[in-house]
Amino acid sequence: MAIHLQQAIEVGKYIVSQRLKGRKRYPLVLMLEPLFRCNLACSGCGKIQHPVEILKQNLTPEQCFAAVEECGAPVVSIPGGEPLLHPQIEQIVQGLVDRKKFIYLCTNGLLLEKSLDKFQPSPYLTFSVHLDGLQELHDRCVDRNGVFETAVNAIKAAKARGFRVTTNTTVFEGTDPKEVQAFFDFLSTLNIDGMMISPGYSYEWAPDQDHFLKREQTKALFREILAPYQTGQKHWNFNHNPLFLDFLTGEKDYECTPWGSPSYSVLGWQKPCYLLNEGYYSSYQELLEQTDWSQYGRASGNPKCADCMVHCGYEPTAATDAMEPQNMMRALGSVFSFSR
Query: Which domain range does residue 109 map to?
Result: 3-339
pLDDT, residue 300, reads 93
Averaged over 73-86, what is the pLDDT?
Answer: 96
pLDDT, residue 43, reads 65
Question: Mean pLDDT, the chain, as a whole number?
Answer: 90
**Is the predicted pLDDT of residue 90 greater than 50, yes or no?**
yes
pLDDT digits (tens, 9 = 90+) for 267-297: 999 999 888 889 999 999 999 999 999 999 9
**Beta strands in the chain, from DSSP E residues, in sequence order:** 29-32, 75-78, 102-107, 125-130, 164-171, 195-199, 263-265, 268-270, 280-281
- Whether 172 and 213 have beta carbons less than 8 Å apart is answered as yes
* Cβ-based burial of 100 (10 A; exposed 0-12, middle 13-18, buried ≥19): exposed
pTM attached to this predicted model: 0.92
- Indicate the residue type of 327: N
Least confident of 67-76, 204-213, 302-311, 326-335: 204-213
CATH code where residue 235 lies: 3.20.20.70
Encode 30-52: b = buried (16+ Cβ within 10 Å), e = exposed: bbbbbbbbbbbebbbbbbbebee
Instruction: Give how many domains the chain has, as a whole number.
Output: 1
pLDDT band of 44, cuts 50, 70, 90:
low
**Is the predicted pLDDT of residue 45 greater than 70, yes or no?**
no
pLDDT, residue 339, reads 34
User: What secondary structure does DSSP assign to 171-231, as a single string?
Assistant: E-TT--HHHHHHHHHHHHTTT-S-EEEEE----TT-S--SSPPPHHHHHHHHHHHHHHHHT
